[in-house]
């Protein structure tokens, strides 16, 4: 599961969106879609998905964050397929989204390594920032890991919500309702930290 499973599941240079993922004349744009946690958005460019937006406190605020990617438009079929899978995951389906590729252009190499570790965490499981750092061979870099995850442009697809602070603390989260959104997502996956509320509490 996660990075390294199937064909082209990583973030390496030249990654597009699946095999032959170059969207070519599909151009760029964004689309909104409804999920169990609210209205999300996805943005794409000619090389694939460039961003995923979790719900902000209003739909207008969500749209404002997506405008940098272009205009709202009908997504290509390959992006529509990714949207359907994101909706399914947030409805409780077991799907690690590991073969949905993202365009890594402009993402620092360290961040890509962090995202690869995060992407290998299956639904229902979590790691701490320190554990991610250890898997990178960089013990002591938990803070840098947290900062990289805070810059993650593809939440859900790169599941930064599955990385917690030491001792099961929720840690930071940059989506509209912050830790509340993170806990809701973990609750849907059955991985809410001990003593923390889930979506169903």
**Residues identified as active-site:** 160
**Which residues pair with residue 145 across a beta bridge?**
none
Structure tokens at 28: 């760029």
Q: Which helix (H) or strand (E) holds 59?
A: helix 59-66
Closest CA to 35 of 179, 166, 167, 199: 199
**Which residues pair with residue 53 across a beta bridge?**
41
Structure tokens at 125: 């499981």
Closest CA to 173 of 189, 156, 196, 195: 156
**Which residues pair with residue 158 across a beta bridge?**
155
Q: Provide CB contacts within 8 A for 182, sequence distance 6+.
A: 161, 170, 171, 173, 175
| Pair 133, 37: CB distance under 8 Å | no
């Amino acid at each position: 599961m996660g990075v390294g499973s199937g064909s082209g599941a990583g973030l390496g240079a030249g990654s597009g969106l699946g095999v032959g993922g170059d969207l070519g004349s599909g151009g760029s744009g964004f689309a909104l879609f409804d999920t169990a946690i609210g209205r999300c958005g996805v943005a794409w460019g000619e090389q694939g998905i460039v961003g995923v937006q979790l719900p902000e406190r209003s739909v207008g605020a969500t749209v404002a964050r997506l405008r940098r990617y272009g205009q709202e438009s009908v997504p290509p079929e390959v992006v529509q397929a990714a949207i359907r899978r994101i909706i399914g995951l947030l409805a409780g389906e077991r799907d690690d989204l590991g073969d949905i590729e993202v365009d890594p252009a402009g993402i620092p190499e360290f961040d890509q390594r962090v995202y690869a570790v995060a992407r290998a965490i299956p639904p229902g499981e979590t790691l701490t920032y320190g554990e991610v750092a250890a898997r990178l061979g960089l013990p002591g870099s938990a803070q840098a890991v947290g900062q990289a995850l805070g810059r993650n442009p593809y939440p859900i697809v790169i599941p930064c919500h599955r990385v917690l602070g030491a001792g099961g603390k929720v840690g930071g989260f940059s989506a509209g309702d912050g830790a509340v959104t993170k806990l809701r997502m973990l609750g849907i996956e059955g991985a809410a930290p001990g003593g923390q509320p889930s979506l169903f509490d």
